[in-house]
Amino acid sequence: MTFAGLTPNQLLFILQGAGWTVILSLLGFVGGSVIGLPAAVGRISKNRLLRFGIAGYINLIQGIPLPIIMFLCYFGMSIAGFSVPALVAAAVAMTAYCSAYLAEIWRGALMSVPKAQWEAAECLALKPFQRLTHVILPQAVRISIAPTVGFLVQIVKNSSYAVVIGFAELTYTARLLNNSTFRPFVIFSIAALLYFAICYPLSLYSRRLERRLKRG
Amino acid sequence: MTALVTFKDVHKSYGTLPVLKGVSLTVPEGRVVALIGRSGSGKSTALRCINGLETIQSGTLEVCGRKLHEANCDLRHLRMEVGIVFQSYNLFPHLTVEQNVTLAPRLTGKASQAEAHEIARKVLEQVGLAEKAKAYPEQLSGGQQQRVAIARSLAMQPRVILFDEVTSALDPELTAEVLKTIEQLAQSGMTMVLVTHEMSFARRVADEIIFMHQGVVWETGDGSMFDNPQTPELRQFVGSGL
Ligand SMILES: Nc1ncnc2c1ncn2[C@@H]1O[C@H](COP(=O)(O)OP(=O)(O)O)[C@@H](O)[C@H]1O
Ligand SMILES: [Mg+2]
């Protein structure tokens, strides 16, 4: 039994690749959030040193192509004496990449909460951390949901750069399959469809959130 | 009678722009003091100094027994005793009316959850909005939002409340309901500093009226000062119908 000239095993292989793409994207998003949220808060802190330090980190990451970050993580860690699986290297690279962009998205959201809200919280004798967590963040989250979901699409698509370090995500499995079957059009079409199937619902959802937010 | 607020020769500038140029005034406990004057005369700045939102450059400023001119003044505890209400309400849009009111008492440890609930009931009743406890700010009129902001201040049981042109964004009908709330508060003995453009209201409610001009206290008196201004500046200000 074949589908578009591919055996069930070959199809399963490419689907597994899609599964790893989702997993890598999730790891990148979660890792990126864990670093990106404090980075966003640090970017608006009163401490100049902290602000500039984080800005430096963000600019650095945003100024390096993701495949190079992948290489750096993969070979860097092995040079440092850790022989890590490609998944770990790819996840670390994606974490770095996501953290820089999420930090900027969330900094924007934090800054779009009116200054008067900080002041009102301050006038009610809340401590700085309480102002942030009880007054500012809940409003910033609302503002940032749509662009964050929109960025998820970028994460999924850019996770394909893990191909350069041989991590078996969707792009890599598709290429591998092509090497043995020589049916590039069929195989890469399937890969494209799978990417689209992951990304399109996210885009739709993001746009719907944006519309809902505009309506208030 | 103890003074809750005492300015002595207070100077304050923003950068190179001097705004308060030697302000001296006192607000005795239980009294209502109205600050009037032209736009730009430094009324808001004076108010913001009282709760430490702005720091002063020279002179002394004592509020509720705390010396604000000293660097180590504990502003957080000051703000538990000094409430402020702004022209733009500044309610927290993601919280219900009740949550807006209970947030500070809970977070500052002034009240437990249950006590905070009881406080909210009481202060919302005081401003006539008990039935709106579960509403969100955006569902309220401007006048109602401003009354919630007053309730939110009251919930901290402050010793003095500052009002900065709290009706300036409201149309006349809503202005009336907010002024009524403030007037009732005045009658209950709350110490208040009111920056206002409502001259007839100031005259009716304030024990003392302070006319500020170009960053200093220009003339002081009670309601009768409008009938008999001592300075040409106040005469002109009164005459301009503001
Ligand atoms: N944060 C600020 N930075 C710089 N200048 C300010 C600031 N706030 C107020 N000013 C200036 O200080 C002066 C007094 O302002 P303000 O105290 O708001 O007067 P009022 O409340 O009597 O209208 C004005 O000239 C105003 O432009
Ligand atoms: Mg003002």
Q: With bands split at pLDDT 50, 70 and 90, how would you rate the model's confidence at A216?
A: low
Is position A33 within any domain?
Answer: yes
Query: HSE (CB half, 13 Å, CA atoms) of A179?
Result: 6
Whole-angstrom CA distances from A50 to A34, A35, A39, A54 are 17, 14, 9, 6
Using the structure block, give the residue that is written with the tokens 């959130």: A209
Residues 6+ apart with CB under 8 A from A110: A40, A41, A44, A136, A137, A140
Is position A1 within any domain?
Answer: no
Is position A173 within any domain?
Answer: yes
On the question of pLDDT at A215 being above 70, the answer is: no
Mean pLDDT for all residues in chain A: 93
Query: Quick one: which of B83, B74, B10 has its CA closest to B42?
Result: B10
Query: Quick one: which of B198, B135, B193, B189 has its CA closest to B170?
Result: B198
β-pair partners for B20: B12
3-class SS string, B129-172: CHHHCCCCHHHCCHHHHHHHHHHHHHCCCCCEEEEECCCCCCCH
B229: closest CA of chain A, how far (Å): 35
Q: Are A94 and A35 in contact (CB under 8 A)?
A: no
Q: Do A124 and B152 touch (CB under 8 A)?
A: yes
Is position A3 within any domain?
Answer: no
On the question of pLDDT at B241 being above 70, the answer is: no
Per residue in B170-192, pLDDT (tens digit) is 888 899 999 999 999 999 999 99
Q: What is the sign, positive or negative, of the torsion defined by CA atoms of B160, B165, B166, B172?
A: positive
CA B132 to chain centroid, in Å, comes to 24
CA A46 to chain centroid, in Å, comes to 28
Shortest-distance Cα residue to atom 3 of ligand 1: B14
Per residue in A202-213, pLDDT (tens digit) is 999 988 887 877
CB of B45 closer than 6 angstroms to any ligand 1 atom: yes
On the question of pLDDT at B242 being above 70, the answer is: no
Q: Domain B3-240: which CATH class?
A: alpha beta
Residue of B nearest to A135 (CA): B92
Shortest-distance Cα residue to atom 1 of ligand 1: B14
Query: Quick one: which of A14, A6, A160, A171 has its CA closest to A90?
Result: A160
Is position A180 within any domain?
Answer: yes
pLDDT the model gives residue B223: 85
Neighbours of B6 (CB within 10 A): 17
Helix, strand, coil % over all residues of chain A, rounded to 5: 85, 0, 15
A112: closest CA of chain B, how far (Å): 14
Is position A60 within any domain?
Answer: yes
pLDDT the model gives residue A100: 98
Whole-angstrom CA distances from B70 to B5, B25, B57, B61, B112 are 15, 19, 11, 9, 33
Give the closest of B76, B92, B138 to A117, CB-based: B92
Q: Does B202 touch chain A (CB under 8 A)?
A: no
Is position A32 within any domain?
Answer: yes
Atom of ligand 1 nearest to the CA of B38: 22
Residues of B in Cβ contact (< 8 Å) with A121 = 92
- The pLDDT of A50-76, averaged and rounded, is 96
- The pLDDT of A163-167, averaged and rounded, is 94
Per residue in B86-124, pLDDT (tens digit) is 999 999 999 999 999 999 999 998 888 889 999 999 999
Per residue in A87-145, pLDDT (tens digit) is 999 999 999 999 999 999 999 999 999 999 999 999 999 999 999 999 999 999 989 98
**At residue A129, what is the residue type?**
F
B222: closest CA of chain A, how far (Å): 30
Residues 6+ apart with CB under 8 A from A67: A161, A164
Rounded to 10 degrees, the C-alpha dihedral B42/B45/B50/B51 comes to 160
What residues of chain B, 148 to 167, have a C-beta less than 8 Å from chain A? 152, 156
pLDDT the model gives residue B217: 95
On the question of pLDDT at A84 being above 90, the answer is: no
Residue of B nearest to A123 (CA): B79
pLDDT the model gives residue B184: 92
CB of B14 closer than 6 angstroms to any ligand 1 atom: yes
- The pLDDT of A70-82, averaged and rounded, is 90
State the ipTM, two decimals. 0.92
Q: With bands split at pLDDT 50, 70 and 90, how would you rate the model's confidence at A1?
A: low
Exposed, middle or buried, A12 (CB in 10 Å: 0-12/13-18/19+)?
A: exposed
Residues 6+ apart with CB under 8 A from A166: A86, A172
CB of B39 closer than 6 angstroms to any ligand 1 atom: yes
Q: How far apart are CA A108 and CA A103, in angstroms?
A: 9
Is position A2 within any domain?
Answer: no
Name the least confident of A87-91, A164-168, B221-225.
Answer: B221-225
Q: Are A97 and A33 in contact (CB under 8 A)?
A: no
Give me B107's structure tokens: 């977070």
Reported as type and span, the H/E element at residue B219 is strand B216-221
CATH of the domain at A42: 1.10.3720.10
β-pair partners for B160: B82, B191
Distance from the alpha carbon of residue B149 to the mean position of ligand 2, in angstroms: 18
Give me A26's structure tokens: 């999730």
pLDDT-above-90 percentage for chain A: 81
Q: With bands split at pLDDT 50, 70 and 90, how would you rate the model's confidence at A163?
A: very high
CB of B132 closer than 6 angstroms to any ligand 1 atom: no
Q: How far apart are CA A34 and CA A36, in angstroms?
A: 6
CB of B215 closer than 6 angstroms to any ligand 1 atom: no
Per residue in B201-215, pLDDT (tens digit) is 999 999 999 999 999
Q: With bands split at pLDDT 50, 70 and 90, how would you rate the model's confidence at A50?
A: very high
- Select from B12, B38, B44, B53 the residue to mutate for testing ligand 1; criterion: most ligand atoms less than 8 Å from CB: B44
Residues of B in Cβ contact (< 8 Å) with A120 = 86, 90-92
The structural domain count of chain A equals: 1
Q: How far apart are CA A16 and CA B156, in angstroms?
A: 59
Per residue in B13-64, pLDDT (tens digit) is 999 999 999 999 999 999 999 999 999 999 999 999 999 999 999 999 999 9
Range of the domain at A94: 8-215
pLDDT the model gives residue B157: 94
